[in-house]
Structure formats: C-alpha cells, structure tokens
Chains A and B, each alone.
Chain A
Amino acid sequence: MATTMTLNPVQRRVQRVAEQMDAAGADVLLATSPSAIAYLADLNIRSFTAPGTVLVLGPGGNTTLLASEADQPKIAASGYRGLTDFWSLGQDAEERRESVLRMHLSGLPSSARVAAERGALREGAIAAEPILDAAMRIKDDDEIRRLRAAADLADIGYTAVVDRMTPELRVYEIVRNVDRSLRRAGGGEFWSPLEDAAGVTRAGYYPAGSIATLLGRHEETGVLDPSQPLPFALYPLSENYTGAAGTTIVFETPGPLLRSLADALSDATETALAAIRPGIRADEVFAIHRQALQGTVSPDRLDPIIGYSLGTGLGRPLLSATSEEVLEPGMALSVRTAITREQGPGIAFQTTVLVTETGNERLNIVPLRLIELH
C-alpha cells in the first residue's frame, strides 16, 4: 500500500496497535504505562514531573496526550505531534485529571468500545495489554536499530562500571561514572524492569532512578563489601528503546561454592541462550535452563521468569514454565537469570537477544560469567 510506505516509525507502530484494536473490537485505547506511551508517541514519561499521564489512541490513529501542565514544557520539547490536553496543578489535580479524561471519553460515540491499560482501567473496558503485546511482538527494522543502540549504551555502561571499579568506590560514584560515560555517548535516560509487576525479581535493588543498578542490596549502606559478589545491571534508553545488560563482579578469587554456583548459572544461561531460535516454544527454553541447573540449586532460589519481550520497556514474560509462545524472527528478548543466596547478594546475568531467521543474535558484549576484578 502506498500509504504504508510513507508512514514514519511511530505511525507504523500506531498502525500495528490499531490493527490489533480492530481485531479485539476496540475503538479507543487508553495507554498509561511508560512502555505503551513510548511505543505510541515516542515520548518518555518516566522523567515526567507528575504521575498519571494518559495517551488516548482514537479511531484513525489519532493520539491525544493528557498530562499535567507541569509536563507541558517537556512535551513541547519532545517533538510529540499529536493533540494534548492538560490538567492544572494543585491539591485537586487528581480530580482534574479524572475530569479531563472523562471529558475526552464523553466525546466518543456511545457505542465506542474502550480498551485500557491497568492504570486507566474503566468499567466495561477491554484489557489493553494483550492488544499492545500483540502489536509489540515482532520488531521492525527501526525498532531493531534502536534496540541495538540501546544495547550498545548498556555495553558502554558495563565498561564504565568494570573499568573504573574498585572496592573503595561509593555506590553513588559507580552510578555517576556510568551516567557520565553514557551522556558522553549520547544517552542519559533510564528505565526499570520494576515498572511492571512481572518484572520484579527476588533481588532487591538500589538505587532507583539511575542507569546503573546494583542488585541484591537489601540493606543499602552506600559502600561496597569486597568479600561479597556485586551483581549489577544497566538499563539505558536509546530513542525510547530499552537496553538491559548485567553481570556479577567479585573482588577476590571466589570460594568453591560461589564458583560452582556461578559456573552452573553461567552454563545454564548459555545453554538457554543457545536454544533460542525460531520455532522453539518459550517454555522449552525455560525448561532447558532449569534442567541445566538441576541438582545444583534449589528452584526456590531461582526466578520464575528468565526472559521477557523487550522493546520500549519490559514486555510480556516469555521464558517461563507456562509460556507456550513460539519464538519467531524479529522478537527481542531480555534474558535475565539469577540465583539468590541466603546471605548477601546473589549472582545475576542479563543480556538482550534478537531472534533471527536462523537462531539468535546477542546484542551485548557483557560476559555472562563472574567478572573477577583482582
């Protein structure tokens, strides 16, 4: 179709969502998650001042962004081209938000069917998540380009952590080193897998709101303990697409138990990664991972999901015991494996892979093994 040829990347994504809305019988979609809004409007609401932004995707692919007036300058500077409406600041901002939203919905024909994400769910609405998941499933060339750039940023963040790492560093210094080198490389924005309930792992983390994230720090002291492993991850954004990579540092030769756990997790992760190819079912990849760890570590120290669809945020859980989804070329996955330990932080590895025609391509250089810095 001639029109398809002229669509820009965001219009193509909107069109994919519109097609899925048609299939689900929805006329309007209310998006509230950072991931969905980034997908539909190329806008990063993670850095917005006020919570509650809603993007209304209406018939014909038109979008209206409903946001706090506090975020008006950011939206103006973002290049967002759709319509906007703002609620004013103050004590009753929540009510005003609700009335702005209601006003927009009341303008729709009474027969209009609304799909909404959890954050904007209304009575009788269709769940928007499956619609968005289906649209986001296969990445187009522009999305793959952005994911590659985000993976490169994650790799730069990784080298910024590892090259300058010493046990004397403060946590904020690690975060600052990463921030500095990523800004130099053209990316200072971050996201977090914890934006989605499904993205939460057993490893607590600190600090929030930064590209570099140290994992398993249940009690944040601000300093490092050189006798403990240091699992960490990098979550940069590039043109609203997510990078996700991580691994685990040790400052001394690991003891036999830690070494054997880390080797087992590393091998099991590599084995699962090697299995990722078109035609394999997601639960099979998960089973391969679990199988490889059998007898080494008790399952209650492993996460129930080891791979998620990745795009403008962490998407649907893919590699789990219950996912029957068949992998296809063009899918992007964040593979994240971890072992928690009773005492202290555990071991974690994370990388981004792209399902290709023949297998998969790993987008990160981050080694998925213990990084010994001594």
Chain B
Amino acid sequence: MTPALSTATPTVTLTAGAKMPLIGFGTHPLRGQEATDAILQALDLGYRSVDTATRYQNQDAVGAALRQTSIPREELFITTKLPPDAVGFERKTLEQSLEALGTDYVDLWLMHWPPGGSPGAGSWKEFIRAREEGLVRAIGVSNYQLRLLDALKRETGEYPEVAQLQWSPVYYSERYLTACRERGIVVGAHSPLRSARLEDPVLTEIARAHDATPTQVIIRWDVQHGVAVVPKSAHRERMLSNLDVMRFTLTEDEMKAIDGLSELE
C-alpha cells in the first residue's frame, strides 16, 4: 500500500466564497465499480476534489464513493457539469446530478460546452439561481473563449467563477490566464497530461532537477499559476504521484520555460 500524502493540497477561494483545491481527481472515462474504486483510492491518498459531469455517465459511481468514504462531505469538493444539450432542462439535469451523487449540493457546477458556440445566457441565469438557492456553491464554464466569458457578464451581470479548458504547456495562453485573473475567474485545467508532450526535453530537464517526473512538473506548474488541475489516473501509484507535487517549487525561470512550450499562436 502506498502511504497517503501528508502535505495538504493548496486551495483557491472562488468569488462566492467556495474553497477549491488546486488539484482534483479527473474521473472521465471511468464508470461503474472501476470509477468508485478509483475515487475511493484517490480520496484515501489525499484528493479532496473530484471532477465529474452528467456526460461521463459516472455520477452514480461518484455517489457510491461519497457514500462509502468516511471523509465528511464538507471536506470534499465535487464538480459536475451541465451538457450543452440540456438548454431548457437545467434544473432537471442538476436535480438528476444531485440524486445520482447522493448529495444536496455540488461545490462547482460548470456549463460543459458553450451551447452551439453561444454564451448560453439562458442556462447561465439558471446557474446563478441554483447558486442563490444553495444547490451549488460555485458556478463556472468549460471550453469557453474569452469573448464568451465577457458576453455572459454583459448579458447576465455575472462572470463565471471558474473557466475550465484543455490546458497544458502545449495549450498555455498567457492572454487567457491574465484576462481570467483580471475578471476574478480561476482557470481550470482539463486533460493536463493527455494534451501535453511529456517527453519534451524542457520538461524532462526540469523534472530531473527536482527529482520529479514530467507529469509532476506539469501539475506543479499549474498549481504555481493558480490553475486548478484535474489529472485522471486509474493507477494508485500515478494518482499519488500526481498529487505529490508540493515538495518542490519551480523557479521563475523554469515557469517561464514551461510557458514557452505553448503551441498556440
């Protein structure tokens, strides 16, 4: 058995006050018992944040893990997402999420994709209402461009608290990060490893310098940027390794070197 981590994962306080761990456990595409087992292992190792979605068809498996763990609900941070085909069915879909998860609130509810590439202001108003009613603690979006974040603000008066998107050294955008910071939005990183080039010599070199792996370097880089990252692994060793990134710090030069790996124009 791998020992659980003693170092706590840092958190960030979102606009409406929820505290979000900067490292969470990604659950896609795990389903059923495999998902429940993986989440229980992750919780056992020290993860406190779990990222799921209606689309993943595993909210019931997350719910099973929540029932089985001895960790109190208030110490956990559960994210789920509204699929874009649920316009007009927002509340019903949230209720189904809560039911499957076996909880009376989620910590973060994201619009999974901009519906039809639009800001989805109609759905966003439902998000704001759900937060007001305490069914969700924080609200955000996923896969949104900057202009859509601003459109939401314009049309509803409220920015998302979190903007999750495919984010790794390859997909790093200083412009997006800065713009989000200015708007009080925390950037969330999905597919942080899958969308990266793990063999990139810049990463392997930095990893060697810290007696770490390139995956750990990426996760640490996210944390130092204040980006909330949700790596997924079905393997205990990797889950632990992905969480065990607080024992080293990247220098400013190293951070810059990793930023420089961006392949976005």
Interface pair A165/B116, CB less than 8 Å apart: yes
Answer whether residue B173 sits at the interface, using C-beta atoms and an 8 A cutoff.
no
Interface size on B, residues (CB 8 A): 16
Please name all residues of chain A whose beta carbon is closer than 8 Å to the beta carbon of B83 when the two chains form the complex.
159, 162-163
Q: Which residue of the partner chain B has the closest CB to A226?
A: B116
* Interface class of chain B by DSSP: loop
CA of A251 to CA of B114 in the docked complex: distance in angstroms?
A: 12
Q: Is A121 an interface residue (CB 8 A)?
A: no
A365 within 8 A of B: yes
For A152, give the chain B residue with the smallest CB separation.
B57
A162's nearest neighbour on chain B, judged by CB, is B85
A162 touches B84 (CB 8 A): yes
Q: Is B156 among interface residues, defined by CB-CB distance under 8 A? A: no
Size band of the interface chain A makes with B: 10 to 19
User: Within 8 Å CB of B116, what residues of A?
Assistant: 165-167, 249, 251, 373-374
Report whether A372 and B113 are in contact in the complex, using a CB–CB cutoff of 8 Å.
no
Most chain A CB neighbours (cut-off 10 Å) among B57, B87, B115: B115
B129 partner residues in chain A, CB cutoff 8 A = none
Give 1 or 0 for each of B202-239: 1 = CB within 8 Å of chain A CB.
00000000000000000000000000000000000000
- Contacting A at CB under 8 A, from B87-119, are 87-88, 112-113, 115-118
The reply to whether the CB of A199 lies closer than 8 angstroms to some CB of chain B is no
Q: Pick the contact of A374 from B55, B57, B113, B122 — CB < 8 Å?
A: B122
- Bound Cα distance A148, B192 (Å): 30
Q: Does A367 contact B (CB under 8 A)?
A: yes
A168 to B116 CA separation, bound complex (whole angstroms): 9
Q: What's the Cα separation between A371 and B143 when bound, in Å?
A: 19
A163 contacts B117, C-beta separation under 8 Å: no
Asked if A164 CB lies within 8 Å of chain B CBs, one says yes
Cross-chain contact of B117 among A159, A167, A367, A372 (Cβ < 8 A): A167
Q: Which residues of B contact A373 (CB under 8 A)?
A: 84-85, 87, 115-118
Q: Check B85–A374 contact: CB distance below 8 A.
A: no
Q: Which residues of A contact B55 (CB under 8 A)?
A: 159
Q: Footprint of A on B, CB under 8 Å?
A: 55, 57, 83-85, 87-88, 112-113, 115-118, 120, 122, 143
State the A residues within 8 Å of B (CB). Answer: 159, 162-168, 249, 251, 365, 367, 371-374
